[in-house]
Amino acid sequence: MNKQTIRFVWQWININYEDYFETSNCVVANPLFKRDLTSFDGLIKTILKNEAIRQATTLNFIASENLVSRAVLEAQNNVFINKYAEGYPGCRYYEGCEFADELENVAIERAKDLFKCKYANVQPHSGSQMNQAAMLALLSPGDTIMGMDLKCGGHLSHGSTVNISGMWFKSVSYGVDPKTGLIDMNRVLNCAIRHRPKLIIAGASSYPRTIDWKIFRRIADIVDSYLMADISHIAGLVVSGLYPSPINYCDIVTTTTHKSLRGPRGGLILSNNQELFEYISDAVFPGLQGGPMINIIAAKAVAFLEAKQDDYKVWGKSVIENAKAMVGRFKNKKIDVVSGGTDNHLVVIDLRGLGITGKQAAAWLDRCYIVSNKNTIPNDLLSAGITSGLRLGTCACTSRGLKKEDFERIADIIADILLEIKEKGEVSLTLEVNTRREVLSFADKYPICYNV
C-alpha cells in the first residue's frame, strides 16, 4: 500500500486519523481492541506504576541510564510493534514494509547526519549485539582481540572471559597507569606489538577521561589491526562537540542509543568504510538478528533529531559541568576520585581509603533514595560483585533539571554517608531519614512528568 493508496483510503473513509480510531466500529465489535491494561492485567499495571513512583522519588546517578523525553517515550509505543520487517529498506522478506522502510531510512539519515559519517545501521537490539556483529564481521573464531581491562573501566563485550567475546576469541587487555588512572598509550602499544591483535577496541564503561583516538589509530596501523571505538557512554557528548569524535580514526564505531544519547535502549553501528559496513550489516542480519524492532527504531529516530537541537548541546555542557562540580565537592571531603577528576559524565570514587566496599556504599545510598552502582576500579583486588569503587553519572539528573548547585549539595550528602559508613560501619537512622527527606524535596522540585 503506497502513499497514494493511503490518501485514497482516507478520502474514502472521509474522516481524520484520530477520529477513525476513536469511532471505528471495530472498537465496539472486537474486544481485542477495547481491552486496556488496567482492566485486563492489574498486576502488571501496578508494577509499572510502582516503577514510575520509584523513578520519581529517587535521584538516579547510574551512569548507563538517562531520562528520555516524552516524544521518545511516545515514539517507542507505536503500531510498528505489530510489524515484522526482516531485512533492510528496499530488501525485506515480508510485504507491507513501505512505511517501515521510510521510517528506518529516516533514522539512518539522521544518524549519519548526527555523527557525520557515511554509513549507519540502526537495527542492533542492544550494545552487546552491535559489538558481536562487528566481531562476527571482522574476525574468525580464535582471532586475537585487545580491549580495555574490565577492572580498569572496560566492558564485558570487549573481551571478558565470561562474555562470548572472550569465549570465541583470544582476548588480551590493556589497562591504566596505577598512579594517574589514565590509559598508558605506551603500554597499549607494547601490548599490541606483543600480541598482534586483529581487532583493537577503544572505549570503556567507566573511564572518566578523554580517549585519544588518533594515537589508537597509529597503534592499529603499526600492527595492521582493525580499530573499533565503542562510545556507548559518551556518544551524546561526541555529537555535541564536547568530546572528540572517533569517526575519522576508526574502522567501525559502535554506540548504544540510551545513556548520554538519551534515546531508547538499543544499539547503533557507524562507519565510513563501505566494504566493512556491508560485512557488518550482514552480521547484524541475517548473522545475529531476525526482524528489527521498528517501534524502537522510531524512538531512535526521534532521539537523533533531539540531539541536533541547540538545547541538547546546552544539556551536554551541563552534564560535564555537573560531574566536575561533584568531583570538587568529593575532593573537599578528602574522598578519592579515580584519575583525580573527569572529562565526561562519569565520577568514579575509590573507596579503599575509606575501608568500605562498593557493594556497601551502593546499598546504603539506595536506602537513602540515591541510586548508583558498585564498580571495580583500576587494579581492584575485590570481585565485580563486591568492588572497591562506586560509579556515578550525571546524565539522568541533568535531564531531570537539577542545577550545578544541586549536584554540589548531593555530592556533599553522598560524602557524608560514605564517611559515616567508614566511621560507624552503617548509616545512622537520623542521617538516613534526613537524607530521604532532602532527596524527596529535590524530587518534588524537579518532577518526572510522565503519564504512565
pLDDT tens per residue across span 352-408:
999 999 999 999 999 999 999 999 999 899 999 999 999 999 999 999 999 999 999
The HSE-up count of residue 209 (CA atoms within 13 Å, CB side) is: 16
Position 323 pLDDT exceeds 70: yes
**Choosing from 84, 282, 324, 416, which is the catalytic residue?**
84
pLDDT tens per residue across span 229-261:
999 999 999 999 999 999 999 999 999 999 999
Percent of the chain with pLDDT over 90: 86
**Choosing from 198, 259, 374, 400, which is the catalytic residue?**
259
Question: Which pLDDT band holds residue 151 (cuts at 50, 70, 90)?
Answer: confident
Q: How far is 108 from 114, CA to CA, in rounded Å?
A: 10
**Choosing from 58, 88, 104, 230, which is the catalytic residue?**
230
pLDDT tens per residue across span 33-55:
888 899 899 999 999 999 999 99
* 422 is a catalytic site residue: no
Residue in 323, 374, 368, 321 with CA at minimum distance from that of residue 350: 374
* 84 is a catalytic site residue: yes
Residue in 416, 403, 414 with CA at minimum distance from that of residue 442: 403
Which of the residue ranges 94-103, 140-149, 156-165 would you say has the lowest mean pLDDT?
A: 156-165
Q: How far is 447 from 400, CA to CA, in rounded Å?
A: 7
The confidence score (pLDDT) of residue 162 equals 87
* 445 is a catalytic site residue: no
Position 225 pLDDT exceeds 70: yes
The confidence score (pLDDT) of residue 17 equals 61
Q: What is the CATH number of domain 79-306?
A: 3.40.640.10
Question: Which pLDDT band holds residue 29 (cuts at 50, 70, 90)?
Answer: low
Percent of the chain with pLDDT over 70: 93
Known binding residues for (6S)-5,6,7,8-tetrahydrofolate: 150, 154-156
The confidence score (pLDDT) of residue 9 equals 60
Which of the residue ranges 151-165, 197-211, 249-263, 311-325 would you say has the lowest mean pLDDT?
A: 151-165
Position 1 pLDDT exceeds 70: no
* 198 is a catalytic site residue: no
Known binding residues: 150, 154-156
pLDDT tens per residue across span 262-318:
999 999 999 999 999 999 999 999 999 999 999 999 999 999 999 999 999 999 999
Q: How many CB atoms lie within 10 A of CB 437?
A: 10
* 94 is a catalytic site residue: no
Q: How far is 418 from 357, CA to CA, in rounded Å?
A: 10
Backbone CA torsion sign across 314, 330, 344, 106: negative
Burial 37-70, CB ≥16 within 10 A → b, else e: eeeeeeeeeeeeeeeeeebbbbbbbbbbbbbbbe
**Choosing from 20, 57, 86, 420, which is the catalytic residue?**
86
Question: Which pLDDT band holds residue 77 (cuts at 50, 70, 90)?
Answer: very high
* 209 is a catalytic site residue: no
The confidence score (pLDDT) of residue 4 equals 64
The HSE-up count of residue 136 (CA atoms within 13 Å, CB side) is: 19
**Choosing from 144, 255, 256, 376, which is the catalytic residue?**
256
Q: In whole numbers, what is the pLDDT of the chain averaged over residues? A: 93
Domain extents for the chain? Answer: 79-306, 310-445
Name the CATH architecture for the domain at 310-445: Alpha-Beta Complex (3.90)
What average pLDDT score do residues 97-108 get?
A: 97
**Choosing from 265, 300, 329, 391, which is the catalytic residue?**
265
